[in-house]
Structures are given as C-alpha cells and as structure tokens.
Amino acid sequence: MERIAVCPGSFDPITNGHIDIIKRGSNIFDKIYVCVLHNSEKTSNLFTTEERLRLIQESTINIPNIIVDSFNGLLIDYARSVNAQAILRGLRAVSDFEYEMRITSMNRKLDRDIDTFFIMTDNSYSFLSSSIVKEVAKYHGDVSDLVPSVVNDALKQKFKQL
C-alpha cells in the first residue's frame, strides 16, 4: 500500500522551516500532498493562493515525491479525496502544542482512520514562522537565510510595491 500524507498549511509564504518538515516527511511517506488550505481564521494573507503555490512549487522542485495543491474546505475531506492515511504537521515550541492538539482531536473525531503525525522542528527553525518573516521583510530586514531565494525575491517585490 502506498503511504500517502497531506502536509497542510497557509504557507504565507513557505519558509525553510516548512521545507525541513516536508523533506524529512518525504523520506518516510511515499507521496506527500503539500496543500495550501484556505483558512478562515487567517484572513489577511500577504500572498494570493496562486503566488503561494508557485513559491512552494519552485522551492521544492528537488523533492520528487511531493504534489503541490490547494483546497477550499475541510482538511479531512481533502485527505480522503487523495486517499491519504496521514496528516503531517511540524511542531516548534510549546506554543504550537495547544493549537495542534485542538485541530488533531477534531480531525480524529471526523475520521478515525486518518492519523496526524508530527515532526519536531530542527533547532535552527524553532522560532521561525511565516508571520515573523513577513514582519522583518516589511521593514527591509534580511531574511535570506530563513526562506528559499524565490521567496526572498517575492518578499522584496511585495514590500517594494506597498
């Protein structure tokens, strides 16, 4: 049986922390769907879904067993539609735990056959988030070692326009 996982997120934008999780997951699962989910809690995205998809696509070009996609709806419905048995998430600090626990227990209630797996972040990415990257880039701070170069360029472009 093919081991299929969905790695969902906002990816606004994708960072080296996300890529680390996707890469390590790709060594364990046969196929990973990296899925940009339209999250109703987060309404103020910097990048459009199309831009986020392109940035993920370009920065994961070297990982062969992943598929980049987007979905508007329940994660569990998406996971079922691609025959995934697993949801893959990254964990950073304790602060992630409660949020992840809430989502995981709800997803488990919705479908007990789809399990959530967590990979602990690499130490160097413990405090890295898309929002902190945006905050620094907004004031033209250097984030080049925290994001893929295509994302660094896209951030520069975005904040030049504002």
- Segment interacting with ligand ADP (CB under 6 A) among 13-21, 46-54, 79-87, 105-113: 13-21
Query: How far apart are the C-alpha atoms of 152 and 92, rounded to whole Å?
Result: 22
Residue 71 CB: number of other CB atoms within 10 A?
19
CB 15 within 8 A of CB 130: yes
Please state the closest distance from residue 82 (CB atom) to ligand ADP, in A.
Answer: 17
Residue 89 touches ligand ADP, criterion: CB under 6 A: yes
Residue 69 touches ligand ADP, criterion: CB under 6 A: no
Interface characters, 27-66, with ligand ADP (x: CB under 6 A): ------------x--x------------------------
Query: How far apart are the C-alpha atoms of 109 and 132, rounded to whole Å?
Result: 32
Name the CA dihedral angle for 35, 64, 155, 69, rounded to a multiple of 10 degrees: -20
Residue 11 touches ligand ADP, criterion: CB under 6 A: yes
Please state the closest distance from residue 104 (CB atom) to ligand ADP, in A.
Answer: 10
Query: How far apart are the C-alpha atoms of 69 and 147, rounded to whole Å?
Result: 20
List residues binding ligand ADP (CB under 6 A). 9-11, 15, 17-18, 21, 39, 42, 89-90, 92, 96, 121, 125, 128-130
